[in-house]
Amino acid sequence: MRNIEIKAKVRQLAKLIERAKALSETTGEVIKQHDTFYSVAKGRLKLRKFESGDAELIYYERPDVEGPKLSSYEKAIIKSEGVQDLHKVLDRALGSTGIVKKVRYLFMVGQTRVHIDSVENLGDFMELEVVLKPEQTPEDGEKIALELMEDLGVEKEDLMSGAYTDLLRQKEIH
């Protein structure tokens, strides 16, 4: 699976949520997430736990650059009864590298997932994930992402690279 991603800092949370509601024509969905990242040779591997007790194991690769970037990923759904055991195995085999706790507002605008995240100990951020159809090129996805970024009022100077876990680790160092 592939998508084009954009991540940015959020300056005016309430205003961005209102724009996302208008563009999606929905009130959105609020999702609490607890992500544990594991040490892997390339890409990133995380176990994302939800309030229901269920989880997703997600492996992804994407460059750490600002602006639109191609991300390829694989995902497995884990039912609640197996989540803790899976975490123990992954932690023992690979070691964990960080934990990210967030409240995510999810809005769908066409084929794009608009995430507005309040990340514990970090702040507010926005992610766009344009889920590419098999026939679409990365350039097609970049065009959609840039247009939506403009519609949401996201400024180019607010674009960022990396993952939340990287930002949290940098914050701990300084």
- Cα–Cα distance for residue pair 136/134, rounded to 1 Å: 6
User: What is the pLDDT, as a whole number, of residue 69?
Assistant: 93
What's the predicted TM-score (pTM) here? 0.92
2-173 CATH:
2.40.320.10
How many CB atoms are located within 10 Å of the residue 160 CB?
Answer: 18
Tell me the average confidence (pLDDT) per consecutive run of 10 residues in the chain, 174 residues long. Answer: 95 96 98 98 97 97 91 96 96 97 98 98 97 96 96 94 90 78
User: What is the pLDDT, as a whole number, of residue 67?
Assistant: 87
User: What is the pLDDT, as a whole number, of residue 172?
Assistant: 82
User: Residue ranges of the domains in the chain?
Assistant: 2-173
User: What is the pLDDT, as a whole number, of residue 171?
Assistant: 85
Residues written for the chain: 174
User: 157: which DSSP letter?
Assistant: G
